Chains A and B, each alone.
Chain A
Amino acid sequence: MLRYTFRRLLTAIPTLFLIVTISFFLMHVAPGGPFDMEKGIPPEIKKNIERVFHLDLPVWQQYLEYLWNLAHGDLGPSYVLLNFSVAELFRIALPISAWIGFWAMVFALVLGTVLGVIAALRQNRWIDYVVIAIATFGSTLPTYVTAPVYQIIFGVLLRLTPVGGWGDGSFKHAIGPIIILGLPQLAIVARLMRGSMIESLSANHIRTARAMGLSEYAVIVRHALRGAILPVVSYAGPAMAQLITGSIIIESIFQIPGVGRYFIDGALNRDYTLVMGTVVMIAVFTIIFNFIVDLLYAVIDPRVRYE
């Protein structure tokens, strides 16, 4: 297991290197730079600014410099949010995105699993149809529709939760984003859970367990659920990475200073270092969560062994 872990961690390095390299050059291929704007800057002044940020160097040199700094844990300065370095921005934004993303995933996993299991146990009955309807509703309605509806009902009309902003970081600011961000995930988890639970319940070992006279609780929770939850776990890994590193739409609509907003603002403003930092961070989180999923697989399913 230790060797497997070590090997997996080692293979992550070239993956990360490739992601960084491709992203860096792709970004510099895009026309326009961070200092092109509606009000053009006189060329001499622009040269000064580019010199300050080393943008006057050839792209390959900028790339090597970026790699060198990255290897030393320096994500560089933001070209647009000039008061901050990219690392400082992440120190502020990542906990906010992670907080919302984590609770959205917990909300989705807990409620989605429960709903999926109930639907599977009551297959083709009214409760199953209700769960399918909720899942369809959650996965088809885009968040840019559900979020404004939520804001109007709970923010403007009822004034129960804030319409937007992070304010003092109190939980009431996070409720809306958590629910709206978690809703599509809940739908997916419920569908996955329902499908795999139905499959699991019809498996031979479950029939054997029932034949042996095990209680229904033991059959469902100890035997059926354990196998059925595997697809949900493998889905949850990358989904968690995505949620924790911020949702662009949710953070924009709810005006939350999270990582997702930096990514889109950074891309539009050609804030190279900020975009690169976000790419690196998302890649790292994806690798970590995939790795955790693999480990969890081994824990949950005794058939899966790596040694």
Chain B
Amino acid sequence: MKTFKSQLIICAAAMALMAGAAQAGGTWNRGENSDIQSLDPHKTSTVEEHNILVDLFTGLIMPDASATASPGAAESWTVSPDGKVYTFKLRKDDMWSDGTPVKASDFVFSWRRLLDPATGAEYASMAFPILNAEDINGGKKKGEELGVKAIDDTTLEVTLKGPTPYFLEMLTHHAMFPVSEANVTKFGNDFVKPGNLVSNGAFTLAENVPGDHTKLVKNPKFFDAASVQLDAVNYIPTEDRAAGLKRYKAGEVDYMDDFPGEQLDEMKKDLGDQVHMTPELGTYYYIFKAQKAPWNNVELRNAISMVIDRDQLAEKVWKNSMLPGWSLVPPGVKGYTTVTMDYSTMSQLDREDAAKKVFDKLGISPEHPQKVEIRYNTSENHKNTAVAIQEMLKPWGFDVTFVTTDGKTHYSYLEQKGDFDIARAGWIADFKDPVTFLNLGHTGDGNNYGEYSSKEYDALLDQASTEADPAKRMDELSKAEAILIKDQPLLPLLTYANHNLVSPKLHGYVDNVMDVHPSRFVSKD
């Protein structure tokens, strides 16, 4: 009997162990918006690649499950009193997947490579706060002059050209991730191929079939490998959202980072709380050609802003998959007070009354209409938004016409500062700081398509860029946003929202404004 009992206990223990083992492991099939362009952290630019690179590599600072900047390859750091010199202490147990240690010199090599004009890195500007970085990228200085020094194998010293309070936040961007010097030297541009790629993240590259999948497997050399529960992550591009939804329903993917908005009602009914919609750090806006009459009139810009019913745009056009936007910097940046339009609290009727006075003053009425052309990039939702705005402006005497072109043509036209009345644009934050949005209004900024220029605004932004006191800096940025909101050269319409489908099989997934979900924190039943 005793023997039977002990056998029973052993069996139960074995079963418990097996159950435990079953809980850990597994493959997370992640449906991603689009195909990836590259796995070279210095040559990539899209959100989809960022998600994979966060799994593959470990930068000095990394996003945690809620996208908060946390220690990564650096276990600690100090900042000089003037805010210009950062000294990072690297983890001693941070290793490349080939078993060699990650050294401070790898970071020096990586950042020089990022800035080398021959690399052609789209996000080289991420390193521009570092001393001499911009000149190196412009070919005016040599890579050796970059303000980055390996004091020893585990100590990295970074000198900035000025205090940049958001520098640590910028380090979470994949452009700042390290690559193994030995690996790149050995394979050249082919270092990113499966079998060649050496990485220091929670996962390593196993397969990469463009247009089909990118498979990562757990990296046993990762410094925190013990806490990683998944065996593998399979990134699957699902550009056709409707087809992706079917794959989700069929259980082929456990997650989608977007879904067909037009099926939202049906999805909520079928999938319930698997549908995740949370605010994202992104703004959908229109731009006025600020120097061109009549759009150089601040009153007119504000009056147009007032007659656009953002609630209706969010509810009817975007089926609540976007939120009404009353500020350029969306809510969600810690320590920053977003500035909203002062008429945001008024009722739509009151706003329209106030706008009518301006239109009357300017002689705009259905009898004397003002022509306005809206340019947008081809998409059903952009078209619906433009048509809705056309309807909203029509009763007040605006004769709205459209010019629609594909995305490449649209942005090429805007970048070349082509002529327009109003144009559509959107901005998703690269890192959690208001400047990523506020630079859009800075004189001469490449993305300031409407060529808005305000000395006061520029001065506040420039002042904030050298301000070491974080609270004071945020205050200066708020003041700058207030100017932009008052002047309305950029017309914020909607705040982006994350649209995700998350299977109940997944655990450890945390919604966040950056929509970044490192796989190392996720487990699957």
A interface vs B, CB < 8 Å? 30-45, 48-49, 51-53, 80-84, 89, 92-93, 148, 151-152, 155-156, 159, 162-167, 252-258, 261-262, 265, 268-270
Contact = CB atoms under 8 A, between A and B. Distances in A.
B246 A261 contact: no
B38 A83 contact: yes
B442 to A, nearest CB: 12
A40 B125 CA distance: 12
B143 interface: no
A151 B246 contact: yes
A79 B446 CA distance: 22
B407 A165 contact: no
Nearest to B418: A31
B214 to A, nearest CB: 10
A89 B25 CA distance: 32
Most central of A34, A43, A92 by chain B CB within 10 Å? A92
A43 B446 contact: yes
Contacts of A35: 122
Given A83-B40, A164-B252, A42 B446 contact: yes
A255 B425 contact: no
Q: Which 3 A-B pairs have the closest CB atoms?
A: A32-B408, A257-B211, A52-B120
Given A32-B412, A45-B125, A51-B120, A151 B243 contact: yes
Interface in B387-426: 405-415, 425-426
A37 B411 contact: yes
Contacts of B35: 81, 265
Interface in B119-171: 119-122, 124-125, 137-138
Contact of A40 (B213, B246, B411): B411
Given A38-B425, A256-B212, A164 B406 contact: no
Given A31-B409, A265-B211, A269-B408, 12 more contacts: A31-B408, A42-B446, A83-B38, A89-B210, A156-B249, A159-B251, A162-B252, A163-B250, A165-B212, A165-B213, A255-B243, A256-B211
Interface in B417-456: 425-428, 430, 446-447
Interface size class of B (residues with CB under 8 A): 35 or more
B250 A155 contact: yes
A32 B406 contact: yes
Contacts, number: 162
Contacts of A30: 409
A40 B120 contact: no
Contacts of A166: 209, 212
Given A44-B137, A48-B117, A254 B406 contact: no
B122 A49 contact: yes
B193 interface: yes
Given A42-B125, A52-B120, A83-B40, A36 B412 contact: yes
A82 B38 CA distance: 5
B229 interface: no
A36 B408 contact: yes
B476 to A, nearest CB: 23
Interface string B94-134: 00000000000000000000000111111011000000000
Given A31-B409, A37-B407, A163-B252, A52 B209 contact: no
A83 B446 contact: no
Given A89-B210, A163-B243, A255 B408 contact: no
B45 interface: yes
Given A82-B38, A82-B40, A32 B411 contact: yes
A257 B212 contact: yes
B412 A252 contact: no
Nearest to A96: B212
B246 A255 contact: no
B70 interface: no
Interface in B462-476: none
B62 interface: no
Contact of B246 (A82, A155, A167, A258): A155
Contacts of A40: 411, 414-415, 446-447
A45 B124 contact: yes
Given A43-B446, A51-B120, A252-B240, A152 B246 contact: yes
Contacts of B405: 31
A163 B411 contact: no
B420 to A, nearest CB: 14
Given A84-B210, A155-B250, A45 B137 contact: yes
Interface in B205-264: 208-213, 236-240, 242-244, 246-247, 249-252
B90 to A, nearest CB: 28
A39 B250 contact: no
13 contacts: A36-B409, A38-B427, A41-B122, A43-B446, A45-B121, A45-B137, A48-B137, A82-B38, A84-B210, A148-B246, A155-B246, A159-B251, A162-B252
Interface of B: 35, 37-40, 43-45, 117-122, 124-125, 137-138, 192-193, 208-213, 236-240, 242-244, 246-247, 249-252, 405-415, 425-428, 430, 446-447
B138 to A, nearest CB: 5
Most central of B208, B411, B427 by chain A CB within 10 Å? B411
A277 B210 CA distance: 16
B117 to A, nearest CB: 4
B192 to A, nearest CB: 5
A153 B427 CA distance: 39
A48 B408 CA distance: 19
A254 B237 CA distance: 11
Contacts of A152: 246
A83 B39 contact: yes
B243 A82 contact: no
Contacts of A262: 211
Most central of A38, A155, A162 by chain B CB within 10 Å? A38
B247 A164 contact: yes
Nearest to B236: A165
Contacts of A32: 406-413
B322 to A, nearest CB: 16
A92 B411 CA distance: 32
Nearest to B138: A44
Contacts of A162: 247, 250, 252
A257 B208 CA distance: 11
Contact of B411 (A36, A51, A53): A36
Contacts of A253: 240, 243
A262 B37 CA distance: 12
A96 B325 CA distance: 45
Contacts of B407: 32, 37-38, 268
A298 to B, nearest CB: 40
Contacts of A252: 239-240, 243
Nearest to B449: A40
A48 B411 CA distance: 19
B37 A159 contact: no
B192 A255 contact: no
A35 to B, nearest CB: 7
Contact of A255 (B125, B208, B237, B250): B237
A255 B240 contact: yes
Contacts of B212: 165-167, 255-257
Nearest to A269: B408
Contacts of B428: 39
A294 to B, nearest CB: 35
B227 to A, nearest CB: 30
